[in-house]
Amino acid sequence: MKVKNIKEPKKFFEVLNACKGTIELVTTEGDRLNLKSKLSQYIALTQMFKDAQIGEIEIMVSEPEDMSMIIDYLVRG
């Protein structure tokens, strides 16, 4: 799933932390980072944080209900 224009990264990571399954960031090199890890969240923010928003990232979600929760956040904010 590609996610674009995350304007409030802190709230986005709060949603990810509430997920039950594994949430992974897929890097441009194909590596996968566990986005529920605080260290990985910090790395993601420092690498992609520009102008108070994250442009586009690709994430992999292991649980369908987590996908629904993330989509709900992205649509409703």
> pLDDT tens, 28-65?
788 898 999 988 888 777 766 555 556 678 899 999 99
SS3 for 28?
A: coil
Cβ neighbour number for residue 49 with a 10 Å cutoff: 13
pLDDT for position 28? 78
Cβ–Cβ < 8 Å for 22, 34: yes
CA 54 to chain centre: 9
pLDDT for position 51? 52
Angle, vertex CA 45, rays to CA 58 and CA 62, nearest 5? 35
* pTM of structure: 0.77
Cβ–Cβ < 8 Å for 37, 65: no
CATH 3.30.1340 matches 2-76: yes
